[in-house]
Amino acid sequence: MCSKGLTLAPKPGNTGRRLLETPSGLINSIGLENPGIPHFIEHELKTMMDLGPVVLANLSGAGLETYVEGAALLDKTDVPMIELNISCPNVKAGGMAWGLDCRAASEVVSAVRKATSKPLMVKLSPNAPDLSGVARSVVAAGADALSLVNTFQSFAVDIEKGRPYFDNVTAGLAGPAIKPIALRMLRDVMLNVPECRDGRIPVAGLGGISCWQDAVEFIMTGAKAVQVGTATFANPHAMEEIIAGLISFMERKGYGEIEDMRGIAL
């Protein structure tokens, strides 16, 4: 179970409308609203961990210093793993996301790696011009695992008002509409990053997974695990149904464990 993005200081999030349903998708402009890492550690983390599943803390930031300080605070807790969101804007680089450039991605992962001894999963942005290159750079910088992909940058117009739908103008597209593209990007990384292909660096696949068949596609394309987010807005039982469907499918096909089908479509 993974937290929403956490920043060192509390963030109120974006103003105006934050969600827009599209055909087979959902555009969100939340703006990383969260209570801040100190509040999360004091008030939410124990509740999450008491529920039973392994907990991942998603670490977000802007300046390098906030990433490092946030990682250092989480390092002192019992949270088992940190998922590092490098889709956040690099303020000093004019607002370009850390994860769009191999050098910037390597810089932030290296800094966070030094600040924590916990397993570090790096969440990649699909908006990077060279996603496989970014993946290779963060692996070299110390990532223990990868998760991909984050939302796709998108845009919508309020035709009644004749202006952008979101106050923040652009926003992130998620949901079933992005699944085929996310799946292709997973394949690209699996084929072009040797450490992922041979299993040394596990990859969590995500992007539009809403049923067990979607999960099977990602696993057969090499994902060691899958993440489900947007689907739970429409169906709170989506993850339970995906697990049940996976079990039934594996029994029907004679797969004794997930590894028996992982990567067979590559």
Report the CATH number that the domain containing residue 67 is assigned in CATH: 3.20.20.70
Residue of 134 and 93 predicted with greater confidence: 134
Reported confidence tier of residue 5, pLDDT bands at 50, 70, 90: very high
The answer to whether the pTM exceeds 0.75 is: yes
- Residue 153, in any domain of the structure: yes
Q: Active site includes 2?
A: no
**In this predicted structure, what is the pLDDT of residue 96?**
77
The answer to the question of residue 190 being in a domain is no
Per cent of the chain over pLDDT 90 is 95
Residue 226 covered by a domain: no
Tell me the C-alpha distance between 55 and 46, whole Å.
10
Q: Do residues 69 and 41 make contact, with C-beta atoms less than 8 angstroms apart?
A: no
What's the confidence (pLDDT) of residue 94?
Answer: 64
H runs (alpha helix) in 116-165: 131-140
- Nearest partner of 221 among 256, 181, 252, judged by Cα: 181
In this structure, of 89-98, 197-206, 252-261, the range with the lowest mean pLDDT score is: 89-98
CA distance 244 to 238: 10
E strands in 30-144? 56-59, 81-85, 120-123
Q: What is the pLDDT of residue 173?
A: 97
Task: State the Cα angle at 266 between 24 and 131, rounded to 5°.
Answer: 65
pLDDT band at 228 (very low <50, low <70, confident <90, very high): very high
Is the confidence at residue 93, as pLDDT, over 70?
Answer: no
Residue 201 lies in a domain: no
Residue 113 structure tokens:
């790696």
When pLDDT is averaged across residues 91-105 and rounded to a whole number, the result is 84
Which pair of structure tokens corresponds to residue 111? 């800094």
Distance CA 106, CA 143 (A): 10
Q: What is the mean pLDDT of residues 65-79?
A: 98
**In Å, how far are 135, 189, 248 from 260, measured between CA atoms?**
25, 20, 15
Q: Which domain holds residue 112?
A: 19-174
Give percent of the chain with pLDDT exceeding 70.
98
Domain count, the chain: 1
Q: Is residue 55 part of a domain?
A: yes
Catalytic residue among 88, 102, 196, 211: 88
What backbone torsions phi and psi does residue 119 show, to the nearest 5 degrees?
-55, 135
Residue 170 lies inside a defined structural domain of this protein: yes
State pLDDT tens for residues 17-47. 999 999 999 999 999 999 999 999 999 999 9
Higher per-residue confidence, 69 vs 92 = 69
Q: Is residue 205 part of a domain?
A: no
Residue 134 lies in a domain: yes
pLDDT tens track for 138-192 = 999 999 999 999 999 999 999 999 999 999 999 999 999 999 999 999 999 999 9
Name the pairing type of β-strands 120-123 and 81-85: parallel
